[in-house]
Structure 1
Amino acid sequence: MSTDPRTIAGVGIPDSTMAQAATELVRDAETELLYHHSRRVFLFGALTGERRGVTYDAELLYIGAMFHDIGLMDAHASPNERFEVDGANAARNFLQSYGLPERDVDDVWDSIALHTTPGIPKHKRSTVSLVAAGVEMDVLGIGFEEFTSKQRNDVCACHPRGLKFKQGILSSFCMGTIRKPETTFGNIKADVLSKMDPTYRRTDFTEAVLASKWTT
C-alpha cells in the first residue's frame, strides 16, 4: 500500500480502490523518476484546472497522469506503436477491467495518446487538456509562473525532481523509443533521438512526400 500523502499542495489524491490499484501498478512498473513525474503531472494538472475554474474528474485525471509514460517501459511497450499509444492502451485495459463508461475510457485514452501533441489537447475535454497541462509544466516549465512558489515547493517536496531530472526524463524518452525509431516520425521524440542516438536519422516529411510512388 502506498504511503504517499493524501493531500499535496491542497490537492486531494484520489484514493478509491481503482486509484490505489493504479498507483501500485505504476509504482511497480516504472522507475522512481517516472513515478514521481507522473504524480507531479497529476498535481500540476489539477492545480491548473482549479486555477482556471475547470470542472474535472480527479480520478480520470489521476489515471491519465499515472499511465501517461508507462509505454516507455519494456513490459508495456509494443514493437511498433508510439509509446503514447502503448500507454493509452494499457490505461484502457485497466479502466475497462473496472467497468468504466466508454466515454471516460476514451477521454483517458486521448489524454495519454495526445500528451506530446502540442496545440490539440487544450481543445479537448478536461481530462485530456489537464493531463497535457501537467506534462507541459513538469517537463517544459510552461505556466511555471502561474503556480505559486509554495505550490511548486509542496509538490516537489513530496515528489522530488532530483538534481538531474531534465537529463533523466530525456534518457527515459530515448530508451523508450530507441528500438522503434520509426515511431518518432512527425512527433517530438525525433528531437530526443536526434540528440541522444548517433545512429538515428530523422525521417523528413518533405522527402517522404517527394519519394512517394505518385508521379505528380
Structure 2
Amino acid sequence: MTDKRVIAGVTIPDSAMAKAVTEVVRDTETDLLYHHSRRVFLFGSLTGARKDLQFDPELLYVGAMFHDMGLFDSYASETERFEVDGANAARDFLRSYNIAERDVDDVWDSIALHTTPGIPQHKRPTVALVTSGVEMDVLGIAYQDFSEKDREEICACHPRGLRFKHAILSAFCYGTIRKPETTFGNVKADVLERMDPTYERKNFAEMIMASDWES
C-alpha cells in the first residue's frame, strides 16, 4: 500500500486543515475504517467529476473522513445516532478553522444523512457525494460506472482486505449495538437484525397503532 497524493486522478487535499483531519481520523479509527473513508472521498470525487458537479474537495474530504467517527467511543454519545455524533464532531472541527457556516452545515448534513437513502442526492454536492462514495464502497452502487483501472488503483492504495464485507458489518454493529433505538428509520437496523440475536426491530405501523390516540 502507498499513501499517494494523487490516486485515480484525484488529488488528496493537503492543506493544514486536511492534514489535521487525516491525523485525527488516523489516530481514532481502525485501519479498516480509515481506508474505507479515504475510498469514500475518492469514489465521491470521481462521481462528482463524472456528473460535472462543482464541489469543494476539502469539504468533501472532511465529510468522507468524519462520516464513521461516531462509531468510536471517543466520539459516541449515549443517545444520538452515530451519524449525528460524527456530524457534530466534524462541525466542531470545522468551526475551529473558521469555516463558513453554510459549508459547516453541508458537511454536517453529508454525515448525518449518509445512511438515509433517497435524500442526499437532492442536496448540495458535498452532501450528495459523501453518500455516493459510501454507497459505492459499501454497496457497490454504480460499480460499473467506475473504470476497472480506477477501482484497482484506489484499492491498491487503500485496500479493502479479503473480508471487508464482514468486517464493515462488525464495525457498524459495534458502533450501534449499545443504543439500538438509534437505528430506527435508517439502514443500521438491518445490521443489528443480522448481527445481534437480541435485537428487536421497531415497526412504524405498530407504533402508530399502539399510540395513546383513540383513533
TM-score of Structure 1 vs Structure 2, range by shorter chain: over 0.9
Q: Deviations over 1:61-108 (max 9, x none)?
A: 000000000000111000000000000000000000000000000000
Unaligned runs of at least 5 residues, structure 2: none
Does 1:155 pair with 2:154? yes
- Give yes or no for the alignment of 1:93 onto 2:87: no
Name 2:36's counterpart in structure 1.
37
**Structure 2 partner of 1:190:** 189
Specify the alignment match of 1:203 in structure 2: 202
For 1:5 and 1:22, the matched residues in 2 are separated by 16
Identical positions, percent: 71
- Misfit runs of 4+, over 2 Å: none
- Structure 2 CA distance for aligned equivalents of residues 44 and 103 of structure 1: 24
Indicate the residue corresponding to 2:115 in structure 1: 116
SS of 1:55's equivalent in the other structure is coil
What letter is aligned with 2:33? L
Structure 1: distance between partners of 2:128 and 2:180: 27
TM-score normalised per structure 1: 0.98
What is residue 130 of structure 2 aligned with on the other side? 131
Q: How big is each residue's C-alpha offset from its partner over 1:100-158, in whole Å with a ceiling of 9 and x where there is no partner? A: 00000000000000011111000000000000000000000000000000000000000
- TM-superposed deviation, 1:187: 1.1
* 2:42 paired with 1:10: no
Q: Which residue of 2 aligns with 1:26?
A: 25
Distance 1:211 1:162 in 2: 45
Q: Which amino acid aligns with 2:156?
A: A
Letter in 2 for 1:122: Q
Query: Match of 1:32, as an amino acid?
Result: D
Distance 1:123 1:204 in 2: 27
Structure 1 regions of 5+ residues with no counterpart?
none
d(CA) in 2 for partners of 1:117, 1:199: 24
Corresponding residue number in structure 1 for 2:171: 172
CA distance in 1, matches of 2:185, 2:144: 30
Cα deviation, 1:177-202, whole Å, max 9, x if unaligned, reads 00000001111111110111011000
Q: Distance in 1 between matches of 2:87 and 2:101?
A: 14
Matched residue, 2:76? 77
